[in-house]
Structure 1
Protein backbone atom coordinates (compact mmCIF):
# COMPACT_ATOMS: atom_id res chain seq x y z
CA UNK A 1 0.00 0.00 0.00
CA UNK A 2 1.27 3.46 -0.88
CA UNK A 3 0.26 6.74 0.73
CA UNK A 4 1.24 10.38 0.27
CA UNK A 5 2.67 11.79 -2.95
CA UNK A 6 6.44 12.13 -3.23
CA UNK A 7 7.78 15.57 -2.27
CA UNK A 8 10.75 17.23 -0.60
CA UNK A 9 13.15 15.26 -2.81
CA UNK A 10 13.34 12.51 -0.19
CA UNK A 11 13.67 8.78 -0.86
CA UNK A 12 10.56 6.63 -0.68
CA UNK A 13 9.90 4.79 2.58
CA UNK A 14 8.82 1.18 3.02
CA UNK A 15 7.52 0.26 6.49
CA UNK A 16 7.76 -3.36 7.68
CA UNK A 17 5.68 -4.30 10.72
CA UNK A 18 6.72 -6.78 13.39
CA UNK A 19 5.40 -10.17 14.46
CA UNK A 20 1.69 -10.42 15.31
CA UNK A 21 1.12 -6.94 13.86
CA UNK A 22 -0.37 -5.68 10.62
CA UNK A 23 0.07 -2.54 8.49
CA UNK A 24 -2.94 -1.05 10.29
CA UNK A 25 -0.84 -0.67 13.43
CA UNK A 26 1.47 1.70 11.56
CA UNK A 27 -1.22 4.10 10.35
CA UNK A 28 -0.67 6.76 13.06
CA UNK A 29 2.94 6.98 11.92
CA UNK A 30 1.96 7.00 8.24
CA UNK A 31 -0.38 9.92 8.96
CA UNK A 32 2.55 11.90 10.37
CA UNK A 33 4.77 11.21 7.36
CA UNK A 34 3.09 13.83 5.19
CA UNK A 35 4.91 14.60 1.97
CA UNK A 36 6.81 11.30 1.98
CA UNK A 37 6.07 8.49 -0.47
CA UNK A 38 5.26 5.83 2.13
CA UNK A 39 4.50 2.16 1.52
CA UNK A 40 3.55 -0.63 3.92
CA UNK A 41 3.72 -4.39 3.47
CA UNK A 42 1.66 -7.18 5.03
CA UNK A 43 3.87 -10.05 6.15
CA UNK A 44 2.37 -13.48 5.45
CA UNK A 45 3.82 -14.95 8.67
CA UNK A 46 1.15 -13.07 10.64
CA UNK A 47 -2.59 -13.66 10.35
CA UNK A 48 -5.71 -15.04 11.99
CA UNK A 49 -5.77 -18.47 10.35
CA UNK A 50 -2.93 -20.87 11.31
CA UNK A 51 -3.50 -22.81 8.09
CA UNK A 52 -2.58 -19.86 5.89
CA UNK A 53 0.44 -18.44 7.71
CA UNK A 54 3.61 -18.04 5.69
CA UNK A 55 7.17 -18.24 6.99
CA UNK A 56 10.16 -15.90 7.31
CA UNK A 57 11.36 -16.53 3.78
CA UNK A 58 7.89 -15.73 2.43
CA UNK A 59 8.05 -12.48 4.39
CA UNK A 60 11.42 -11.71 2.80
CA UNK A 61 9.98 -12.29 -0.66
CA UNK A 62 7.15 -9.83 0.02
CA UNK A 63 9.58 -7.18 1.28
CA UNK A 64 11.89 -7.62 -1.71
CA UNK A 65 8.94 -7.33 -4.10
CA UNK A 66 7.66 -4.17 -2.39
CA UNK A 67 11.08 -2.51 -2.60
CA UNK A 68 11.50 -3.51 -6.24
CA UNK A 69 8.05 -2.10 -7.04
CA UNK A 70 9.06 1.31 -5.67
CA UNK A 71 11.96 1.35 -8.10
CA UNK A 72 13.59 4.61 -7.02
CA UNK A 73 15.75 5.42 -3.98
CA UNK A 74 14.20 3.81 -0.92
CA UNK A 75 14.71 3.60 2.83
CA UNK A 76 13.22 0.57 4.62
CA UNK A 77 12.17 0.79 8.26
CA UNK A 78 11.69 -2.57 9.98
CA UNK A 79 10.12 -2.95 13.41
CA UNK A 80 10.93 -5.79 15.82
CA UNK A 81 10.72 -9.22 14.09
CA UNK A 82 10.38 -7.32 10.79
CA UNK A 83 14.12 -6.81 10.95
CA UNK A 84 14.68 -10.53 10.35
CA UNK A 85 13.07 -10.88 6.90
CA UNK A 86 14.23 -7.37 5.97
CA UNK A 87 17.83 -8.46 6.58
CA UNK A 88 17.16 -11.62 4.58
CA UNK A 89 15.54 -9.75 1.69
CA UNK A 90 17.63 -6.74 0.80
CA UNK A 91 21.30 -7.61 0.41
CA UNK A 92 21.13 -7.14 -3.37
CA UNK A 93 18.42 -4.46 -3.51
CA UNK A 94 20.25 -1.77 -5.43
CA UNK A 95 17.72 0.99 -4.75
CA UNK A 96 17.79 0.71 -0.93
CA UNK A 97 19.79 3.58 0.52
CA UNK A 98 19.44 2.64 4.20
CA UNK A 99 17.72 0.19 6.54
CA UNK A 100 16.31 1.52 9.81
CA UNK A 101 15.95 -1.12 12.54
CA UNK A 102 13.33 0.11 15.04
CA UNK A 103 13.66 -1.92 18.26
CA UNK A 104 14.36 -4.71 15.81
CA UNK A 105 16.26 -7.96 15.47
CA UNK A 106 19.33 -7.05 13.42
CA UNK A 107 20.53 -10.60 12.95
CA UNK A 108 23.62 -12.12 11.39
CA UNK A 109 23.86 -15.23 9.21
CA UNK A 110 22.84 -18.40 11.03
CA UNK A 111 20.70 -16.57 13.62
CA UNK A 112 16.92 -16.72 14.00
CA UNK A 113 14.31 -14.91 16.06
CA UNK A 114 14.20 -17.81 18.54
CA UNK A 115 17.93 -18.54 18.59
CA UNK A 116 18.72 -15.07 19.92
CA UNK A 117 15.86 -15.33 22.43
CA UNK A 118 17.30 -18.29 24.32
CA UNK A 119 16.40 -20.93 21.76
CA UNK A 120 12.61 -20.69 22.14
CA UNK A 121 9.79 -18.15 21.82
CA UNK A 122 9.76 -15.20 24.20
CA UNK A 123 8.63 -15.87 27.77
CA UNK A 124 5.57 -13.64 27.35
CA UNK A 125 4.28 -15.66 24.38
CA UNK A 126 2.49 -19.00 24.06
CA UNK A 127 3.08 -21.77 21.52
CA UNK A 128 0.09 -23.61 20.05
CA UNK A 129 0.45 -26.90 18.22
CA UNK A 130 -2.21 -27.28 15.57
CA UNK A 131 -2.98 -29.70 12.79
CA UNK A 132 -3.31 -26.65 10.57
CA UNK A 133 0.15 -25.38 11.57
CA UNK A 134 2.05 -24.37 14.70
CA UNK A 135 1.73 -20.75 15.79
CA UNK A 136 2.58 -18.33 18.59
CA UNK A 137 0.47 -15.69 20.29
CA UNK A 138 1.05 -13.06 23.00
CA UNK A 139 -0.39 -13.39 26.51
CA UNK A 140 -0.09 -9.79 27.75
CA UNK A 141 0.18 -7.53 24.71
CA UNK A 142 -0.71 -4.25 26.44
CA UNK A 143 2.05 -4.66 28.99
CA UNK A 144 4.60 -5.97 26.51
CA UNK A 145 3.92 -3.83 23.42
CA UNK A 146 1.84 -0.82 24.43
CA UNK A 147 2.93 0.20 27.92
CA UNK A 148 2.99 3.93 27.06
CA UNK A 149 0.09 3.93 24.57
CA UNK A 150 -3.22 5.54 25.52
CA UNK A 151 -5.81 2.91 26.54
CA UNK A 152 -8.19 3.45 23.61
CA UNK A 153 -5.40 3.13 21.05
CA UNK A 154 -3.91 0.17 22.89
CA UNK A 155 -7.22 -1.69 22.96
CA UNK A 156 -7.67 -1.15 19.24
CA UNK A 157 -4.13 -2.34 18.58
CA UNK A 158 -4.72 -5.52 20.58
CA UNK A 159 -7.89 -6.25 18.60
CA UNK A 160 -5.84 -6.09 15.36
CA UNK A 161 -3.14 -8.56 16.45
CA UNK A 162 -2.87 -11.95 14.77
CA UNK A 163 -0.88 -15.13 15.23
CA UNK A 164 2.78 -15.62 14.27
CA UNK A 165 3.88 -18.67 12.31
CA UNK A 166 6.16 -20.78 14.50
CA UNK A 167 8.30 -21.58 11.48
CA UNK A 168 9.08 -17.88 11.00
CA UNK A 169 10.69 -17.80 14.42
CA UNK A 170 12.84 -20.86 13.76
CA UNK A 171 14.18 -20.06 10.30
CA UNK A 172 17.71 -18.67 10.11
CA UNK A 173 19.02 -15.70 8.19
CA UNK A 174 21.14 -16.75 5.20
CA UNK A 175 21.61 -13.33 3.54
CA UNK A 176 22.72 -10.27 5.54
CA UNK A 177 21.61 -6.97 4.03
CA UNK A 178 23.13 -4.68 6.66
CA UNK A 179 26.63 -5.80 5.65
CA UNK A 180 25.98 -4.29 2.21
CA UNK A 181 23.47 -1.49 2.96
CA UNK A 182 24.02 1.30 5.53
CA UNK A 183 21.85 0.92 8.62
CA UNK A 184 20.49 2.95 11.50
CA UNK A 185 19.36 1.35 14.75
CA UNK A 186 16.67 3.08 16.83
CA UNK A 187 16.75 1.90 20.45
CA UNK A 188 13.48 2.17 22.39
CA UNK A 189 14.78 2.80 25.88
CA UNK A 190 11.58 1.84 27.77
CA UNK A 191 10.90 -1.36 25.82
CA UNK A 192 9.49 -4.41 27.64
CA UNK A 193 9.32 -6.70 24.59
CA UNK A 194 12.93 -6.44 23.44
CA UNK A 195 15.05 -5.25 26.39
CA UNK A 196 17.09 -2.12 25.68
CA UNK A 197 20.30 -3.92 26.64
CA UNK A 198 19.63 -6.48 23.89
CA UNK A 199 18.82 -3.69 21.44
CA UNK A 200 22.12 -2.03 22.27
CA UNK A 201 23.94 -5.24 21.33
CA UNK A 202 22.15 -5.35 17.98
CA UNK A 203 22.86 -1.64 17.52
CA UNK A 204 26.60 -2.33 17.46
CA UNK A 205 26.03 -3.84 14.03
CA UNK A 206 24.53 -0.60 12.69
CA UNK A 207 26.34 2.38 11.19
CA UNK A 208 24.55 4.82 13.47
CA UNK A 209 22.37 4.62 16.56
CA UNK A 210 19.41 6.76 17.61
CA UNK A 211 17.41 6.48 20.81
CA UNK A 212 13.82 7.30 21.68
CA UNK A 213 12.31 7.18 25.17
CA UNK A 214 9.43 4.89 24.27
CA UNK A 215 8.05 1.41 24.72
CA UNK A 216 8.10 -1.17 21.94
CA UNK A 217 5.55 0.69 19.80
CA UNK A 218 6.50 4.36 19.29
CA UNK A 219 4.50 4.37 16.05
CA UNK A 220 1.45 4.37 18.35
CA UNK A 221 2.69 6.22 21.45
CA UNK A 222 4.92 8.87 19.83
CA UNK A 223 4.17 8.88 16.09
CA UNK A 224 5.04 12.56 15.55
CA UNK A 225 8.42 12.27 17.28
CA UNK A 226 9.21 9.05 15.43
CA UNK A 227 8.20 10.67 12.12
CA UNK A 228 10.64 13.53 12.75
CA UNK A 229 13.43 11.06 13.41
CA UNK A 230 12.61 9.11 10.25
CA UNK A 231 12.41 12.27 8.14
CA UNK A 232 15.87 13.27 9.33
CA UNK A 233 17.23 9.85 8.37
CA UNK A 234 15.59 10.12 4.94
CA UNK A 235 17.08 13.56 4.38
CA UNK A 236 20.57 12.20 4.98
CA UNK A 237 20.06 9.01 2.99
Structure 2
Protein backbone atom coordinates (compact mmCIF):
# COMPACT_ATOMS: atom_id res chain seq x y z
CA UNK A 1 0.00 0.00 0.00
CA UNK A 2 1.06 3.59 -0.65
CA UNK A 3 1.41 5.88 2.39
CA UNK A 4 2.29 9.55 2.62
CA UNK A 5 2.80 12.51 4.94
CA UNK A 6 2.89 16.22 4.28
CA UNK A 7 5.97 16.77 6.44
CA UNK A 8 5.87 20.57 6.18
CA UNK A 9 3.88 22.94 4.03
CA UNK A 10 3.80 26.73 3.90
CA UNK A 11 5.72 29.81 2.86
CA UNK A 12 8.54 28.98 5.30
CA UNK A 13 9.37 25.52 3.99
CA UNK A 14 7.97 22.48 2.21
CA UNK A 15 8.62 18.75 2.24
CA UNK A 16 6.49 15.76 1.27
CA UNK A 17 7.02 12.05 1.86
CA UNK A 18 5.53 9.04 0.06
CA UNK A 19 6.31 5.35 0.44
CA UNK A 20 5.38 1.88 -0.72
CA UNK A 21 6.66 -1.39 0.69
CA UNK A 22 9.71 -1.12 -1.59
CA UNK A 23 10.51 2.57 -1.98
CA UNK A 24 10.49 5.79 0.04
CA UNK A 25 10.60 9.14 -1.71
CA UNK A 26 11.08 12.65 -0.34
CA UNK A 27 9.81 15.57 -2.41
CA UNK A 28 11.61 18.85 -1.69
CA UNK A 29 13.75 19.76 1.31
CA UNK A 30 12.61 23.26 2.17
CA UNK A 31 13.79 23.17 5.77
CA UNK A 32 17.16 22.51 7.39
CA UNK A 33 18.50 18.98 7.39
CA UNK A 34 18.03 18.81 11.16
CA UNK A 35 14.41 19.89 10.91
CA UNK A 36 13.71 17.29 8.23
CA UNK A 37 15.26 14.59 10.43
CA UNK A 38 12.99 15.65 13.30
CA UNK A 39 9.91 15.58 11.07
CA UNK A 40 10.80 12.06 9.96
CA UNK A 41 11.08 11.00 13.59
CA UNK A 42 7.58 12.31 14.24
CA UNK A 43 6.13 9.94 11.61
CA UNK A 44 8.25 7.00 12.70
CA UNK A 45 10.62 7.02 9.74
CA UNK A 46 14.30 7.83 9.11
CA UNK A 47 15.95 9.80 6.32
CA UNK A 48 18.58 7.09 5.82
CA UNK A 49 15.88 4.82 4.38
CA UNK A 50 14.85 7.28 1.66
CA UNK A 51 15.29 5.96 -1.88
CA UNK A 52 15.53 9.34 -3.61
CA UNK A 53 14.74 13.04 -3.37
CA UNK A 54 12.55 14.65 -6.04
CA UNK A 55 12.75 18.40 -6.56
CA UNK A 56 9.86 20.58 -7.77
CA UNK A 57 11.77 23.86 -8.31
CA UNK A 58 14.66 25.91 -7.00
CA UNK A 59 12.98 28.36 -4.60
CA UNK A 60 14.53 28.29 -1.12
CA UNK A 61 11.37 27.12 0.63
CA UNK A 62 11.75 23.90 -1.40
CA UNK A 63 15.53 23.30 -1.44
CA UNK A 64 16.92 24.93 1.72
CA UNK A 65 18.30 21.69 3.20
CA UNK A 66 18.62 19.70 -0.03
CA UNK A 67 22.39 19.72 -0.42
CA UNK A 68 23.13 19.02 3.24
CA UNK A 69 20.67 16.13 3.47
CA UNK A 70 21.68 14.56 0.16
CA UNK A 71 25.37 14.64 1.02
CA UNK A 72 24.89 13.36 4.57
CA UNK A 73 22.85 10.33 3.51
CA UNK A 74 24.26 9.97 -0.04
CA UNK A 75 20.78 10.27 -1.53
CA UNK A 76 20.14 10.53 -5.28
CA UNK A 77 18.42 13.76 -6.39
CA UNK A 78 16.03 13.98 -9.33
CA UNK A 79 15.23 17.31 -11.02
CA UNK A 80 14.79 18.58 -14.55
CA UNK A 81 17.73 20.14 -16.39
CA UNK A 82 16.65 23.78 -15.99
CA UNK A 83 16.07 23.27 -12.26
CA UNK A 84 19.51 21.67 -11.88
CA UNK A 85 21.07 24.70 -13.57
CA UNK A 86 19.05 27.11 -11.40
CA UNK A 87 20.19 25.30 -8.24
CA UNK A 88 23.88 25.80 -9.02
CA UNK A 89 25.44 27.77 -6.20
CA UNK A 90 22.40 27.23 -3.97
CA UNK A 91 22.85 23.67 -2.71
CA UNK A 92 26.63 23.20 -2.77
CA UNK A 93 28.51 20.48 -4.63
CA UNK A 94 26.59 17.30 -5.32
CA UNK A 95 28.55 14.21 -6.44
CA UNK A 96 27.82 13.31 -10.06
CA UNK A 97 26.63 9.85 -9.10
CA UNK A 98 23.85 11.44 -7.01
CA UNK A 99 22.54 13.70 -9.79
CA UNK A 100 19.73 12.48 -12.04
CA UNK A 101 17.60 14.25 -14.63
CA UNK A 102 13.83 13.83 -14.38
CA UNK A 103 12.37 15.57 -17.45
CA UNK A 104 9.14 17.50 -17.25
CA UNK A 105 6.17 15.52 -18.58
CA UNK A 106 7.88 12.18 -17.98
CA UNK A 107 7.15 9.05 -15.94
CA UNK A 108 9.82 7.38 -13.83
CA UNK A 109 9.39 4.05 -12.11
CA UNK A 110 10.82 3.45 -8.66
CA UNK A 111 10.06 -0.24 -8.43
CA UNK A 112 6.37 -0.52 -7.59
CA UNK A 113 5.85 3.27 -7.62
CA UNK A 114 5.39 5.19 -10.87
CA UNK A 115 5.99 8.94 -10.65
CA UNK A 116 4.61 11.30 -13.31
CA UNK A 117 5.96 14.84 -13.56
CA UNK A 118 3.96 17.74 -14.96
CA UNK A 119 4.61 21.44 -15.46
CA UNK A 120 2.98 24.22 -13.47
CA UNK A 121 2.87 28.02 -13.86
CA UNK A 122 5.26 29.59 -11.37
CA UNK A 123 8.14 32.09 -11.51
CA UNK A 124 10.89 29.49 -11.40
CA UNK A 125 13.16 28.02 -14.08
CA UNK A 126 10.95 25.05 -14.97
CA UNK A 127 8.69 24.18 -12.02
CA UNK A 128 7.00 20.80 -11.97
CA UNK A 129 5.01 18.68 -9.57
CA UNK A 130 4.15 15.03 -9.34
CA UNK A 131 1.47 12.37 -9.56
CA UNK A 132 2.23 9.10 -7.75
CA UNK A 133 0.69 5.87 -9.08
CA UNK A 134 0.68 2.59 -7.17
CA UNK A 135 -1.59 -0.44 -7.67
CA UNK A 136 -4.40 1.61 -9.16
CA UNK A 137 -4.16 4.38 -6.55
CA UNK A 138 -3.37 7.97 -7.49
CA UNK A 139 -1.82 10.64 -5.26
CA UNK A 140 -1.41 14.22 -6.54
CA UNK A 141 0.95 16.89 -5.19
CA UNK A 142 0.40 20.36 -6.69
CA UNK A 143 1.38 23.69 -5.15
CA UNK A 144 3.30 26.76 -6.36
CA UNK A 145 1.24 27.53 -9.43
CA UNK A 146 -0.49 30.76 -10.41
CA UNK A 147 -3.42 28.90 -11.90
CA UNK A 148 -4.54 25.36 -12.72
CA UNK A 149 -4.85 24.97 -16.48
CA UNK A 150 -7.03 22.49 -18.33
CA UNK A 151 -3.85 20.57 -19.17
CA UNK A 152 -2.96 20.26 -15.49
CA UNK A 153 -6.54 19.27 -14.63
CA UNK A 154 -6.43 16.50 -17.21
CA UNK A 155 -3.30 15.06 -15.60
CA UNK A 156 -4.40 15.29 -11.96
CA UNK A 157 -8.14 14.58 -12.19
CA UNK A 158 -9.80 11.77 -10.27
CA UNK A 159 -7.00 11.24 -7.75
CA UNK A 160 -7.63 9.32 -4.55
CA UNK A 161 -5.74 12.01 -2.62
CA UNK A 162 -4.95 15.63 -3.49
CA UNK A 163 -2.34 17.77 -1.76
CA UNK A 164 -3.48 21.04 -3.26
CA UNK A 165 -2.31 24.63 -2.99
CA UNK A 166 -4.60 27.05 -1.15
CA UNK A 167 -2.06 29.80 -0.64
CA UNK A 168 -3.88 33.02 0.19
CA UNK A 169 -7.11 34.85 0.78
CA UNK A 170 -7.28 37.54 -1.89
CA UNK A 171 -8.64 40.26 0.42
CA UNK A 172 -6.11 39.50 3.17
CA UNK A 173 -3.34 39.77 0.58
CA UNK A 174 -4.66 43.01 -0.91
CA UNK A 175 -5.14 44.64 2.50
CA UNK A 176 -1.88 43.30 3.95
CA UNK A 177 1.52 44.90 4.41
CA UNK A 178 3.33 43.32 1.45
CA UNK A 179 4.78 45.77 -1.12
CA UNK A 180 2.63 46.06 -4.21
CA UNK A 181 5.14 44.28 -6.46
CA UNK A 182 5.03 41.23 -4.17
CA UNK A 183 1.22 41.28 -4.11
CA UNK A 184 1.14 41.53 -7.88
CA UNK A 185 3.53 38.58 -8.20
CA UNK A 186 1.44 36.36 -5.89
CA UNK A 187 -1.79 37.26 -7.70
CA UNK A 188 -0.28 36.73 -11.15
CA UNK A 189 -0.40 33.67 -13.40
CA UNK A 190 3.08 32.71 -12.16
CA UNK A 191 2.30 33.24 -8.48
CA UNK A 192 0.12 31.18 -6.17
CA UNK A 193 -3.41 29.80 -6.17
CA UNK A 194 -5.90 31.52 -3.84
CA UNK A 195 -8.44 29.75 -1.64
CA UNK A 196 -11.20 30.56 -4.11
CA UNK A 197 -9.27 29.39 -7.16
CA UNK A 198 -8.25 26.21 -5.35
CA UNK A 199 -11.91 25.39 -4.75
CA UNK A 200 -12.86 26.11 -8.36
CA UNK A 201 -10.05 23.91 -9.67
CA UNK A 202 -10.84 21.12 -7.21
CA UNK A 203 -14.46 21.13 -8.33
CA UNK A 204 -13.24 20.17 -11.82
CA UNK A 205 -10.89 17.36 -10.77
CA UNK A 206 -12.53 15.59 -7.82
CA UNK A 207 -13.61 12.09 -8.80
CA UNK A 208 -15.74 9.33 -7.30
CA UNK A 209 -12.64 7.75 -5.76
CA UNK A 210 -11.38 10.99 -4.18
CA UNK A 211 -11.27 10.49 -0.41
CA UNK A 212 -8.86 13.08 0.99
CA UNK A 213 -7.90 16.65 0.12
CA UNK A 214 -5.07 18.42 1.96
CA UNK A 215 -4.97 22.22 1.66
CA UNK A 216 -1.31 23.11 1.31
CA UNK A 217 1.25 25.91 1.06
CA UNK A 218 -0.82 28.39 3.09
CA UNK A 219 0.73 31.83 3.42
CA UNK A 220 1.74 32.77 6.96
CA UNK A 221 0.68 36.37 6.43
CA UNK A 222 -2.20 36.17 3.98
CA UNK A 223 -4.21 33.14 5.05
CA UNK A 224 -5.45 31.08 7.98
CA UNK A 225 -6.25 27.39 8.17
CA UNK A 226 -9.82 28.06 9.26
CA UNK A 227 -10.40 30.59 6.48
CA UNK A 228 -8.92 28.38 3.77
CA UNK A 229 -10.97 25.39 4.87
CA UNK A 230 -14.18 27.40 5.21
CA UNK A 231 -13.78 29.01 1.79
CA UNK A 232 -13.05 25.72 0.04
CA UNK A 233 -15.84 23.91 1.90
CA UNK A 234 -18.44 26.55 1.07
CA UNK A 235 -17.52 26.78 -2.59
CA UNK A 236 -17.45 23.01 -3.05
CA UNK A 237 -20.75 22.64 -1.19
CA UNK A 238 -22.29 25.23 -3.50
CA UNK A 239 -21.34 22.96 -6.41
CA UNK A 240 -23.06 19.95 -4.86
CA UNK A 241 -20.17 18.22 -3.13
CA UNK A 242 -20.82 16.72 0.29
CA UNK A 243 -17.72 17.27 2.40
CA UNK A 244 -17.36 14.70 5.17
CA UNK A 245 -19.22 12.07 3.17
CA UNK A 246 -17.77 12.03 -0.34
CA UNK A 247 -14.33 13.09 0.89
CA UNK A 248 -12.60 14.82 3.80
CA UNK A 249 -10.63 18.07 3.94
CA UNK A 250 -7.42 18.28 5.97
CA UNK A 251 -5.07 21.04 7.07
CA UNK A 252 -1.30 21.05 6.64
CA UNK A 253 1.23 22.89 8.76
CA UNK A 254 4.70 24.41 8.28
CA UNK A 255 6.08 22.67 11.39
CA UNK A 256 3.88 19.66 12.17
CA UNK A 257 3.69 16.69 9.77
CA UNK A 258 0.37 15.14 8.89
CA UNK A 259 -0.14 11.61 10.17
CA UNK A 260 1.22 8.91 7.92
CA UNK A 261 -1.87 7.85 5.97
CA UNK A 262 -2.79 5.28 3.34
CA UNK A 263 -3.91 6.38 -0.10
The structure showing larger relative contact order (alpha-carbon pairs under 8 Å, at least 6 residues apart) is 1
TM-score range, shorter chain: 0.3 to 0.5
Larger Rg: 2
The two structures have a TM-score, normalised by structure 2, of: 0.39
